[in-house]
Amino acid sequence: MAKQEDLFKNVVSHAKEYGFIFPSSEVYDGLSAVYDYAQNGVELKKNIRDYWWKSMVQMHENIVGIDAAIFMHPTTWKASGHVDAFNDPLIDNKDSKKRYRADVLIEDYAEKLNQKAQKEIEKARARYGEAFNEQEFVSTNTRVVEYLSKKKEILERMARSLETENLADVKALIEELEIADPDTGSKNWTDVRQFNLMFGTKLGASADSAMDLYLRPETAQGIFVNFLNVQKTGRMKVPFGIAQTGKAFRNEIVARQFIFRMREFEQMEMQFFVRPGEEMKYYEYWKETRLKWHLSLGLGKENYRFHDHEKLAHYANAAADIEFNFPFGFKELEGIHSRTDFDLKAHEQHSGKKMQYFDTELNQNYTPYVVETSVGLDRMFLAVFSNSLKEETLEDGSTRTVLRLPSVLAPTKAAVLPLVKKDGLPEVARQIIEDLKWDFNVAYDEKDAVGRRYRRQDALGTPFCITVDHQTLEDQTVTIRHRDSMQQDRVKIEELRGIINKEVSMRNWLMKM
């Protein structure tokens, strides 16, 4: 655990030291759970967004994008259920005065039971080797059966209590399980209360005429209210999707863990409109397709898992998370939700405007059902960044810090380094930059010894370093160094664009899906 905490601390400090993420308004000591993306962070974030957008919009004939406003008519949030139901159950510890999400305390307890079961399974795997039958072991080993059934029982009871608003039972569950304040160990809890997560604001100059608004807590509603506009102007036929990326805001009760849970964050969402009755088919399709997208980045299959929801949001009839193995354990990265016709029907009811689609094949009007995929851009950033940060011991015993980012996402694709600051080498390096910058984000660096410059680019995640030396002046060749293998090859300057492109082009990465 201590090791994991150290790793996470490294992630946070590396992000700051190398210009990826700064605490917001740091000169005033920052603002809790709000962060700024710095010069390298903004490039990595943009590349993740582009990678998502291309795979969704460019690669699907039947998916188009929009960019709806953050401010929406306040009735939107009444209709969507967010005014009445977008709550988290909070609980305070009377001794430490710390506030927690009651459901998260219980889920963490359940996860510990899961980890105990996994430990038994791994021990048995090591003991029986090839002959190990995991399925049989999980269903017959008394300890594993006990851990997993207790976990299931706890999560089901919590889901039932939350669904029926039985907050007294949520507290009773915390007490029965003897869950303590993770920071202090105290078990002295208040009652559980509901807390609405939306930020309110006002629109208008005078106090009398000002209108109460909310900052959107999800981007999805901008898509729902534009559903017919897009369908008609784009002549879209069900099944079709609308994609959007943009800011969302939530007054999170517990906003810790760096950019994992922020109060201002960015979502990448896609609503897929389908015929009623076909939603489960598309729900399965999008679960699989989104996992493939994640896997295409090469962060390791073992770092992902599905978690099917026991406790469904007010709009869903099925939901699953794609969880990622963050430095603090497996947590939600993306949600895939079957949202039924809840949102379109609710907007129809509250606006008095029809939100139906005429299906020419069926010769029938209906309200489409919706399957949604929703991934946090900041969480994707954290997943990619934390997974890529490595401390490596080299053959000569020295160490290096390297950010093994998927090269398609790297902020800078190549750094061009003149070996020395004289003899015409900087001029040649500048010419190479002039040529490459039309296609790639490239950097020039002439400060310090070349070995130190390599290390700096490794820590920034730059896939290639191109070194211009005296031989370059004679035969127009340079060395190209690969970040991960540190191998150096001598190549012609005119070959550079092709070599870099092969490694970083979105086409090549997305084709792995």
Interface with ligand GAP (CB under 6 A)? 218, 220, 250, 252, 261-262, 265, 267, 269, 332-335, 372, 374-376, 378-379
Query: What is the C-alpha separation between 450 and 465, in angstroms, rounded?
Result: 10
For the bound state, the minimum distance from the C-beta of residue 434 to ligand GAP, rounded and expressed in Å, comes to 39
Residue 267 annotated as part of some ligand binding site: yes
Nearer to ligand GAP by C-beta: 320 or 493?
320
Q: Residue 33 and residue 26: Cα distance in Å, rounded?
A: 12
> Nearest distance from residue 221's CB to ligand GAP, in Å?
8
Shortest distance, CB of residue 35 to ligand GAP, whole angstroms?
A: 10
* Per-residue H/E/C for 221-259: HHHHHCHHHHHHHCCCCCCEEEEEEEEEECCCCCCCCHH
Nearer to ligand GAP, 14 or 339 (CB): 339
Pick from 175, 174, 153, 187: nearest CA to 106: 174
Considering the complex, state which of residue 321 and residue 503 has its C-beta at the smaller distance from ligand GAP: 321
Smallest separation (angstroms) from ligand GAP to the CB of 234: 21
373 is in an annotated binding site: yes
DSSP, res 181: -
Task: Check whether 101 is labelled as a binding-site residue.
Answer: yes
Q: Hey, what's the torsion of the CAs at 18, 23, 29, 34, to 10 degrees?
A: 180
Min dist CB 395 to ligand GAP, Å, is 39
Answer yes or no: is 264 a known binding residue: yes
Residue number, 171 or 250, with CB nearest to ligand GAP? 250
218 is in an annotated binding site: yes
What is the SS3 assignment for 291?
Answer: helix
DSSP 438: T
What is the three-class DSSP state of 374?
A: strand
Of 334 and 445, CB closest to ligand GAP: 334
User: Strand, coil or helix: what is 334?
Assistant: strand
Select 55 or 457, whichever has its Cβ closest to ligand GAP. 55
CA–CA dist 318, 336 (Å, integer)? 8
Closest-by-Cβ residue to ligand GAP is 376
Tell me whether residue 312 or residue 499 sits nearer to ligand GAP (CB atom). Answer: 312
Q: Comparing C-alpha atoms, which of 271, 290, 285, 174 is closest to residue 223?
A: 271
Ramachandran class of 424: left when φ > 0, alpha when ψ lies in -120 to 50, beta otherwise = left
- Whether 312 has a binding-site annotation, put simply, is no
Angle at 42 between CA 37 and CA 43, to 5 degrees: 155
376 appears as a binding residue in the annotation: yes
User: Cβ of residue 380: shortest distance to ligand GAP, in angstroms?
Assistant: 8
Would you tell me how many other CB atoms lie within 10 Å of the CB of residue 206?
6
Is 333 part of any known ligand binding site?
yes
Residues in the chain: 513
**In the complex, least distance from residue 7 CB atom to ligand GAP, rounded to whole angstroms:** 20
Residue 135 one-letter amino acid: Q
Q: 455 among the known binding-site residues? A: no
Residues of each annotated binding site for substrate: 101, 218, 265-269, 372-376
Annotated binding residues for ATP, as ranges?
Answer: 250-252, 260-265, 332-333, 376-379
Question: What residues are designated binding site?
Answer: 101, 218, 250-252, 260-269, 332-333, 372-379
